[in-house]
Amino acid sequence: MPGKMVVIFGASNVLWMVFTVSQAFKMEIFPEHRVIAQIGDVISLTCRTTGCEPPSFSWRTQIDSPLNGKVRNEGNNSTLTMDPVSFNNEHAYVCTATCGSKKLEKGIQVEIYSFPKDPEIHLSGPLELGKPVTVTCMVPDVYPFDRLEVNLMKDNKLLKNQEFLEPMERKSLETKSLVVTFIPTNEDIGKALVCQAKLNIDEFDFEPKERETTKKLQVYISPKNTVISVSPSTKLQEGGSVTMTCSSEGFPAPQIFWSKKLDNGNVQLLSGNATLTLIAMRIEDSGIYVCEGVNQVGKDGKEVELIVQEKPFIVEISPGPQVIAQIGDSVVLTCGVTGCESPSFSWRTQIDSPLSGQVKTEGSKSTLTLSPVSFENEHSYLCTVTCGRKKLEKRISVDLYSFPRDPEIEMSGLLVSGNPVTVSCEVPNVYPSDRLEIELFKGESVIESKTFLEDMDRKSLETKSLDMTFIPTTEDTGKVLVCLAQLRVGEMEFEPKQRQSTRMLHVNVAPRDTTILVSPSSILEEGSSVNMTCSSNGLPAPKILWSRQLSNGDLQPLSENSTLTLTSTKMDDSGIYVCEGINQAGISRKEVELIIQVAPKDIQLTAFPSESVKEGDTVIISCTCGNVPKTWIILKKKAETGDTVLKSRDGAYTIHKVQLEDAGVYECESKNEVGLQLRSLTLDVKGRENNKDYFSPELLVLYCASSLIIPAIGMIIYFARRANMKGSYSLVEAQKSKV
Ligand SMILES: *[C@@H]1O[C@H](CO)[C@@H](O)[C@H](O)[C@H]1NC(C)=O
Ligand SMILES: *[C@@H]1O[C@H](CO)[C@@H](O)[C@H](O)[C@H]1NC(C)=O
Ligand SMILES: *[C@@H]1O[C@H](CO)[C@@H](O)[C@H](O)[C@H]1NC(C)=O
Ligand SMILES: *[C@@H]1O[C@H](CO)[C@@H](O)[C@H](O)[C@H]1NC(C)=O
Ligand SMILES: *[C@@H]1O[C@H](CO)[C@@H](O)[C@H](O)[C@H]1NC(C)=O
């Protein structure tokens, strides 16, 4: 149907012609008067009669167009069903019921609409801060759109309201849109964009009359600050590996893409991971690598250049350019190659002497084992490696040392205060001995040191020693003697470079100041007791040994006690007693003479041939002591003018050619510490009758058994007394003083 068409509900109430029928015959129509249905839905119109059994029904549109529905008559009822409702159902429908001659007619207006879906919000692109964005709110399949009203709200504030009042060209479902452009700001993040569509058909009740769609505003940030970190370096060696990590900021988080720039200008995508690890790099892997951070709103790239360098041909010798080894140890020299597929090795000494070692080559490594290392190995060794046309040589020098043991300290003898002693400090099997220094410390101070520079260039193990003589004193006891040996082999690393030994000093003191104390006296009466106490100083404290000197000079040991006690002494105990103070360092000796005395008795004074002699005769006056040795005998002639001491010989006094005046009283006094005995006789001299001398000199020998009669009796007594006063007595000394 051409021409414009406007639907006006309500205003176009059809005037129904009502036929006059009998009262009993009635008709109703449902729904009453008018109804609105959505396109696509199902709607039924029912015509019901009462008072006729059964009536006949007919349906028509007012303008006589097709019904576009199905009629179903059931007794008193007739139903017109439109399934689905379409534009063709927008009519006024008339139901006619005929009961015999009676005819009833009722009309109903069917209106249609379409509002099937919520509005759709479309953005012209991702929301980016500061970039204008166009929001389209689209309401699909609307009818009649002139009743449509669309509101777009952002954060509850209206952005735009629109109605679509333009005339409808034809009946159709239209999709209507509202378009708004705005610039997103930070405040917009997370806020809601609401599109609300209303179909303003107030005359009818239907649901929904209003539909809305909400969209949360998501504001994006384009990738920026893209950073690449490279580990270990952008410069690599052939075969090496590198790890590159890329990061980029943005929202949502940018995805990272790694690619490599090709020579033709294209790029080759490598990975979609932030971390890119490249292994076994080749020269041709050098180039520019690009990292790109990409998200919905943009991308940001960064470049890095990797340079892969050719692997150099390197020869390395270990343990270093120099190795120091102890003679007898095992040394392994290793020559290793990098950057060569199949190297060939050769070893030699610098002076082309035999290697004196074992070579073992395996792959990129060759070893020379010197075991045990000896003087023959003290060289510079050269390892030559050939790789194709390239040739490299590395040198290692083998230096030796020997310093296997700590020094040994020896003393020439016992340490005795005041006696020189020689300390020797010996360092065995040293090499190189010209680098050896031996120092001897007493306590903190160095008392001697020695070097052996004269041994230069001697290739042998040497045993070196330092000798030092000193005189120890008792103060040295407790000090430590340290022998420090140092092998000064410069900058070379080995252990130990010094060794030391220590010795604690214990200085002995030889026994001295040996003294004997005799209590009560060295001259004793037979039967009494005597204590002889001996003491001696020294370190360690001397041991005391008492002995008795036998007549042949030998010593008979008696006691190791310091005090020697003799009880009830007999004359036989007389003699020389020797005390010895003894320790490791020596002997000190002292003697004492013990004299056991007996009181003089049995003294006999005789005159020979008789006490009565003639003038001119030879007479011998003799005094003999019986039992007692060491008895002082004094022979005197008594006179009124004074006694005369006679020079007797062995107690005998010989008067040759006796004179008258020789007559008189002769007295013999025998005396010792213990007692005194006197004897006297009177010599009678008669006048000479003849001169005949019948005395035979041989008869003059008289004995005083075991007696000791000395002419200078007075002197002897003096010395004896003096000696007694000192508590000891030396005959030898007494004799010496006498001379
Ligand atoms: C139709 O209407 C009549 C009278 O009102 C009634 O007697 C009859 O039972 C109805 N028939 C049906 C099928 O409802
Ligand atoms: C006729 O219509 C009425 C009301 O809509 C209904 O109750 C009744 O069952 C219908 N009768 C038949 C025979 O369809
Ligand atoms: C990225 O790394 C993950 C594990 O870290 C791995 O599973 C994935 O395959 C990698 N993707 C690419 C493209 O290499
Ligand atoms: C000897 O020594 C002992 C013990 O000290 C003592 O009892 C005794 O009297 C001493 N003898 C003499 C004669 O001094
Ligand atoms: C040494 O003295 C001890 C006690 O003082 C004594 O028992 C011992 O007999 C003495 N030894 C000698 C050999 O006199």
CB 447 within 8 A of CB 479: no
pLDDT of residue 153: 94
Q: Distance, CA 277 to ligand 3 centroid (Å)? A: 11
pLDDT of residue 359: 94
564 with 657, same domain: the answer is no
Confirm whether 8 is domain-assigned.
Answer: no
Helix, strand or coil, per DSSP, at residue 153? strand
268 with 295, same domain: the answer is yes
Query: Residue 544: which CATH number?
Result: 2.60.40.10
Ramachandran region, residue 155 (left: φ > 0; alpha: ψ -120 to 50; beta: rest): left
Q: Distance, CA 77 to ligand 2 centroid (Å)? A: 6
Check if 75 has its Cβ closer than 6 Å to any atom of ligand 1: yes
213 with 139, same domain: the answer is yes
Which residues constitute the domain of residue 425? 408-504
pLDDT of residue 627: 61
Can you tell me which atom of ligand 4 is nearest the CA of 563? Answer: 2
Confirm whether 12 is domain-assigned.
Answer: no
Q: Distance, CA 273 to ligand 3 centroid (Å)? A: 6
616 with 727, same domain: the answer is yes
pLDDT of residue 724: 42
pLDDT of residue 628: 59
Q: Distance, CA 50 to ligand 1 centroid (Å)? A: 6
324 with 253, same domain: the answer is no
Confirm whether 20 is domain-assigned.
Answer: no
CB 394 within 8 A of CB 333: no
Of the listed ligands, the closest to the CA of 273 is: 3
Check if 529 has its Cβ closer than 6 Å to any atom of ligand 4: yes
pLDDT of residue 512: 92
Of the listed ligands, the closest to the CA of 557 is: 5
Confirm whether 60 is domain-assigned.
Answer: yes
Cβ neighbours for 572, distance < 8 A, ≥ 6 positions apart:
596
pLDDT of residue 691: 47
Backbone angles phi, psi at 273, to 5 degrees: -105, 150
Low-confidence stretches of the chain (pLDDT beneath 50): 1-22, 691-739
Count CB-CB contacts under 10 A for residue 492: 13
Residue with CA at minimum distance from ligand 2 atom 8: 77
Final residue in a domain of this structure, among 401, 426, 457: 401
b/e sequence 207-235, b meaning 16+ C-beta within 10 Å? eebebbbebebebbbbbeebebebeeebe
Q: Distance, CA 97 to ligand 1 centroid (Å)? A: 14
Can you tell me which atom of ligand 5 is nearest the CA of 564? Answer: 14
Q: Distance, CA 734 to ligand 4 centroid (Å)? A: 29
pLDDT of residue 718: 37
Check if 53 has its Cβ closer than 6 Å to any atom of ligand 1: yes
133 with 41, same domain: the answer is no
Q: Which residues pair with 228 in a beta bridge?
A: 246
The pLDDT tens digits of the residues spanning 303-352 come to: 999 999 887 888 999 888 888 899 999 999 999 998 888 899 999 998 88
pLDDT of residue 383: 93
609 with 725, same domain: the answer is yes
339 with 300, same domain: the answer is no
Cβ neighbours for 281, distance < 8 A, ≥ 6 positions apart:
236, 237, 238, 239, 240, 241, 242, 306, 308
Confirm whether 14 is domain-assigned.
Answer: no
| pTM of the entire predicted model | 0.44
Confirm whether 4 is domain-assigned.
Answer: no
500 with 514, same domain: the answer is no
393 with 414, same domain: the answer is no
CA 229 to chain centre: 37
621 with 724, same domain: the answer is yes
Final residue in a domain of this structure, among 259, 286, 309: 309
Cβ neighbours for 208, distance < 8 A, ≥ 6 positions apart:
115
Residue to mutate, 521, 531, 532, 567, ligand 4, most ligand atoms under 8 Å from C-beta: 531
**CA nearest to 366, candidates 400, 337, 403:** 337
Backbone angles phi, psi at 146, to 5 degrees: -70, -10
Distance CA 357, CA 433 (A): 25
Check if 560 has its Cβ closer than 6 Å to any atom of ligand 2: no
Check if 272 has its Cβ closer than 6 Å to any atom of ligand 3: yes
Question: Identity (one letter) of the amino acid at 356?
Answer: S
729 with 610, same domain: the answer is yes
Backbone angles phi, psi at 487, to 5 degrees: -105, 105
Confirm whether 245 is domain-assigned.
Answer: yes
Q: For the chain, what is the domain count? A: 7
Confirm whether 3 is domain-assigned.
Answer: no
Final residue in a domain of this structure, among 217, 234, 250: 217
